Amino acid sequence: MPSVRRVALVTGANRGLGLAISTLLHESGHRVVLAARDGADAREAARGLGGSATWAALDVTDEDSVKAAAGRVGPVDILVNNAGVLLDTGLPTSAVPPALVEQTLAVNLLGSWRVTQVFLPGMVRAGWGRVVMVSSGTGSFANGLFPKTPAYAVSKTALNALTVLLATETAGSGVLVNAVNPGLVRTRMRPDAERLPEEAAADVVWAATLADGSPTGVFFRHRRPADW
Ligand SMILES: NC(=O)c1ccc[n+]([C@@H]2O[C@H](COP(=O)([O-])OP(=O)(O)OC[C@H]3O[C@@H](n4cnc5c(N)ncnc54)[C@H](OP(=O)(O)O)[C@@H]3O)[C@@H](O)[C@H]2O)c1
């Protein structure tokens, strides 16, 4: 059991990395709210964990859904913005349909932004909070950006920018806002990857439970600061 038991909400918690993050937080003794866009999926995932795990129907692209979930869940201490889509594999930047770019940004950038806007004020009021953006090396300028998934890469670059802006705004408040590059992880999104979701989840949970006074506004890879 952790010294302080936190309330943690994870988006996209019904599968893949989100489910692994939720499982680890749950096993660490925190009270986890598994949020998924399909309420039945969220309920099933929470039942799978048992104990104190609860669930919420939460589509990150839908303002009403996010507000309704927040109303039911109440304040959270830890928010993991994990929900994400990869829709443009193999499409060139010069020809990716703008509609796909919009859909990608709607989930990966605006979704994380919207959910954070709803839960962050409560963390600041409480003087304690952890927000983790599940980002990607594809959006890293230092990695050269990844040209084979242009909308996805831009969405994660923008998510990194959002991380820095939110960290700047909340500096000194007791809330830490960081981004994690989990590497390539074997999920529906990347079934070909070697890294298991449990391994990547451990890095995300580490960032979600950083001790007071730890860095904010950092891009972590393997629990070390990485260049943006
Ligand atoms: N796998 C990798 O190699 C890798 C590498 C770097 C970063 N990431 C990031 O890791 C995160 C998790 O991805 P994953 O690999 O676990 O992929 P995944 O298995 O495809 O899971 C994606 C999750 O996001 C959810 N989601 C999509 N749109 C949503 C919406 N509008 N509202 C709420 N939830 C939504 C999905 O819900 P449904 O089940 O309903 O579709 C699913 O739970 C993403 O942010 C991804 O970009 C993954």
CATH classification of the domain holding 169: 3.40.50.720
Whether residue 210 lies inside any domain: the answer is yes
Q: Tell me the one-letter amino acid at 89.
A: T
Q: Tell me which residues are annotated as active site.
A: 152
Whether residue 208 lies inside any domain: the answer is yes
Whether residue 1 lies inside any domain: the answer is no
Whether residue 148 lies inside any domain: the answer is yes
How much is the CA Rg of the chain, to the nearest whole Å? 16
Whether residue 18 lies inside any domain: the answer is yes
Q: Is residue 107 very low, low, confident or very high in pLDDT (cuts 50, 70, 90)?
A: very high
Q: Is residue 140 very low, low, confident or very high in pLDDT (cuts 50, 70, 90)?
A: very high
Domain count, the chain: 1
Whether residue 2 lies inside any domain: the answer is no
Q: Cα(161) to centroid of ligand 1, in Å?
A: 20
Whether residue 85 lies inside any domain: the answer is yes
Q: Which domain holds residue 158?
A: 7-226
Residue 96 has pLDDT above 80, yes or no: yes
Whether residue 142 lies inside any domain: the answer is yes
Q: Cα(104) to centroid of ligand 1, in Å?
A: 11
pTM assigned to the model: 0.98
- The interaxial angle of helices 16-27 and 197-208, nearest 10 deg, is 60
Pocket of ligand 1 (CB under 6 A): 11-12, 14-18, 36-38, 59-61, 82-85, 107, 111, 134, 136, 182, 184-185, 187-190, 193
Q: Is residue 2 very low, low, confident or very high in pLDDT (cuts 50, 70, 90)?
A: confident
Mean pLDDT value across residues 212-228: 98
pLDDT, one tens digit per residue, over 151-172 is 999 999 999 999 999 999 999 9
